[in-house]
Chains A and B, each alone.
Chain A
Amino acid sequence: MKVIGVAGTAKNTGKTTTTMALIETAGEKSIPLAVTSIGLDGEEFDQVTGLPKPRLKLPEGAYIITAERCISGGTARLETVKELKAQTPLGKLHLARVKKEGRVLMAGPNNRRDLDEVTQSLEDSGAEILIVDGALNRMAPLAGTDLFILATGAARTSNLATLRRETRTLVKVLNLPQMVPGEKTNRSYMISETGTVFLETDSLLSGEKVKKVFNGKSGVKEINIKGVLTGEAFAELGKIVSPEGCRIVLSNPINLLLGENLQELNKAVDNWLKSGGKLGVEFGLSLQAITINPFFPDWQERGRFYQPRFVEEKDLKNSFRSLGVPVINVVREGGNRLWGAVFSEK
């Protein structure tokens, strides 16, 4: 079974539309599938913006992993196959099968470990793919998926130049090469002239922390971070540790994207590589496609509500040229094109 993660850069970037296109195409190809969400999908109105959401429809026979209180929340008839251990705010997760097609309400595992339980629960189900719909801008639970789709668009920012710059950074990081770490351990460490030292923390979240850990260290050959490395921390690292002849190995690319400032991160990465440093990940992601959506919820301060708006589709598409990844407007170009991109060998 292949696990497909659909992550977004923000709310309303088209994750559910992308997921729906995959479900429909799998149906046309008669491929048995399972679906879940790391957030909440399928409601009529968005919980945060109050704007209408795309509905989620599942065909008969499909598997869904959703919370107890969502089982009877749609028009589809679901039958629980198995109750899982994982808990959500809406009750325990259930592995269920669609008995009669229709709309579903889906709240699934909110973390990576629970997603692993979901994947295991599907072992004997016969499902060939598991689609995991993301939520908001959250990506971390999807770090272990086999095939990765990034949904972005005007909802992230309606300034297309900024959107393009950000997307380039994301692609750069998500496509970081795989590297075999120097040590087999699940703790963060550095290898220097004096040998291997475990770091006092698995995550480097701030410049302050980096100073504390690396000040005075020389001849560093490898830094292996199991947790998060933020842009701010990376920038500081570039100042303290000499990049020449040093490689930084992260557990997965998403752990590099969890800081506040993508631009700062981009600069730090470029500087590191330009100065002869190496950067890679232990477990890579297969970024197969980027889906784009011209819609954005425009916040109206006066009256305090979201107004639905769109950017020009042509401009949006243009700003995504030559990224090295297939860029698809699912609504315009259809599920088959997306399917082709997702399942192509790189």
Chain B
Amino acid sequence: MEAKARVVDALDIETFLICENEEEGRRVSAGLMESMGLSDFDLVYIHHEGIGARVRIRAYINRPGDRYTWLEGGEIND
């Protein structure tokens, strides 16, 4: 199993993105998550000021009610 299967519910990416406005920050956030293969995500927090935006982007690995990946068992792949 992939290591990310052991994530209980979600993965938060906390960072600061250099961008000109909040909208651009949203697009960059989306691009960032897609590029990491985390397509089920939400932008939990974004605030733009000056040179960029402080963001918390959340990728859901297991939503409540899913068939949880951490129930599958098995060894973590290298």
Q: Would A and B touch once assembled, by the CB under 8 A criterion?
A: yes
A interface, CB within 8 angstroms of B:
44-45, 49-51, 300, 302-307
Contact B22 A50 (CB under 8 A): yes
Report the Cα distance A302→B27, complex, angstroms.
10
Q: Which residue of B lies closest to A305 (CB)?
A: B26
Report the Cα distance A306→B26, complex, angstroms.
9
Q: Which residue of A lies closest to B27 (CB)?
A: A305
Interface residues of B in 31-62 (CB under 8 A from A): 33, 41-43
Report the Cα distance A45→B48, complex, angstroms.
15
The 0/1 profile, CB within 8 Å of A marked 1, for residues 11-25 of chain B is 000000000111110
Please pick, from A45, A300, A302, A307, the residue contacting B21 in the complex, using a CB distance under 8 A: A45
Q: Which residue of B lies closest to A48 (CB)?
A: B23
Count A-B pairs with CB separation below 8 Å: 34
Report the Cα distance A44→B24, complex, angstroms.
12
Report the Cα distance A92→B23, complex, angstroms.
29
Q: Which residues of A contact B42 (CB under 8 A)?
A: 302-303
Q: Which residues of B contact A306 (CB under 8 A)?
A: 23, 27
Please pick, from B21, B24, B26, B33, the residue contacting A304 in the complex, using a CB distance under 8 A: B26
- Would you give the shortest CB distance from B10 to chain A, in whole angstroms? 14
4 shortest A-B CB distances, which residue pairs?
A50-B23, A305-B26, A303-B30, A305-B27
Contact A49 B43 (CB under 8 A): no
- 17 residue pairs of the A-B complex, CB under 8 angstroms, read A45-B23, A45-B24, A50-B21, A50-B22, A50-B24, A50-B27, A300-B30, A302-B41, A303-B26, A303-B29, A303-B41, A303-B43, A305-B23, A305-B26, A305-B27, A305-B30, A306-B23
Q: Which residues of A contact B29 (CB under 8 A)?
A: 303
Report the Cα distance A300→B23, complex, angstroms.
11
Q: Which residue of A lies closest to B33 (CB)?
A: A303
- Would you give the shortest CB distance from A47 to chain B, in whole angstroms? 9
Q: Which residue of A lies closest to B22 (CB)?
A: A50
Contact B43 A304 (CB under 8 A): yes
Are A49 and B27 CB-contacts (below 8 A) given A302-B41, A303-B43? no
Q: Which residue of B lies closest to A44 (CB)?
A: B20
Q: Which residues of B contact A304 (CB under 8 A)?
A: 26, 43
Q: Which residues of A contact B21 (CB under 8 A)?
A: 45, 50
Q: Which residues of A contact B26 (CB under 8 A)?
A: 50, 303-305
Are A49 and B23 CB-contacts (below 8 A) given A302-B41, A304-B43? yes
Q: Counting chain B CB atoms within 10 Å of each CB, which of A44, A51, A302, A306 scores highest?
A: A302
Q: Counting chain A CB atoms within 10 Å of each CB, which of B20, B22, B24, B27 scores highest?
A: B27
Report the Cα distance A57→B8, complex, angstroms.
54
